[in-house]
């Protein structure tokens, strides 16, 4: 815990399932992130142009706008070129499709400690 930055950085969780959103959010908080949580694609799209998150945990199956489109939008935005994207999906085939564009692909079930430990390491990158 000693090598963590003093000012917590901003992370965004895009996940439609209430419980998973809560678990992911808690894991990121434990990794010393300030977390903003949205539950659908449209909200994510609107919010991502206003903030500059260091990390986005992105579900693929979300209402209104797909995770894939959000990912494209982030990658197309110069402002967000330092943003790390972690895809969280239950569909292994879909995860496979995005390995080159996303920074990490996690296949559900994603456990609390798994996500916490992964993002803890990200601080050091």
Partner 1 sequence: MFEKFRSYLRVTSPDPEDARRRNLLNIIVVGSFASSVIGILILGFGLIAKQWTFSQASFLLFFFVIFICLVLIIFFINRQWGNAAAYIFLAILTVGYAFSDTAANISNGSSVFFFAFAIVLASLLIHPLMSFAIAAIGCGIIAWANNLAAPGTSPNFVVMIGFFMLALVSWLASRSLVQALKDLRGINANLDHLVQERTQELANSLTRERIEAGRSHAILESIADGVIVFDVNGSAIIANPSSTRLLDLPNEKLVGASVDDLSQSAPLDAEGRNVLTGLLTKPGEQPNNAHIAWGKKTLSVTSALVNDSEKANIGTVAVFRDYTQEAEVERMKDTFLAIVSHELRTPLNAILGYAEMIKEAIYGPVNEKQVRASDRIMTNSHRLLDIVSDLLDQGQMEAGKLALHVRPFRPADLIENVHGVMDKIAEDKSLALTSELDPAMPKFIHGDIARLQQILVNLINNAVKFTEKGSIHMSLKSKDAQTWLLEVNDTGIGIPEEEISTIFEAFRQVDSTATRKYGGFGLGLSIVKQLTELMQGHVFVTSKLGEGSCFTVSLPMVMAEQGEH
Residues of the shown chain interacting with partner 1 in the complex, contacts defined by CB under 8 A: 17, 19-20, 23, 26, 30, 61, 90-91, 93, 96, 108-113
Shortest CB 81 distance to partner 1, Å: 27
Shortest CB 103 distance to partner 1, Å: 18
Shortest CB 107 distance to partner 1, Å: 9
Residue 66's CB is within 10 A of a number of other CB atoms, namely 15
Point out which residues pair with 51 in neighbouring strands. none
Asked whether 82 and 103 are in contact (CB, 8 A), the reply is no
Which residue, 17 or 52, is less far from partner 1 as judged by CB? 17
């Amino acid at each position: 815990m000693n090598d963590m930055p003093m000012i917590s950085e901003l992370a965004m969780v895009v996940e439609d399932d209430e419980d998973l959103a809560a678990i992911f959010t808690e894991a990121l908080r434990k990794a010393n992130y300030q977390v903003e949580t949205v539950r659908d694609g449209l909200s994510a799209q609107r919010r991502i142009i206003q903030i500059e998150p260091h990390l986005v945990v992105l579900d693929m199956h979300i209402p209104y706008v797909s995770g894939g489109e959000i990912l494209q939008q982030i990658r197309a935005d110069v402002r967000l070129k330092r943003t790390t994207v972690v895809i969280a999906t239950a569909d292994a085939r879909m995860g496979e499709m995005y390995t080159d564009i996303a920074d990490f692909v996690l296949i559900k079930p994603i456990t609390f400690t798994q996500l916490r430990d992964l993002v803890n390491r990200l601080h050091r990158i």
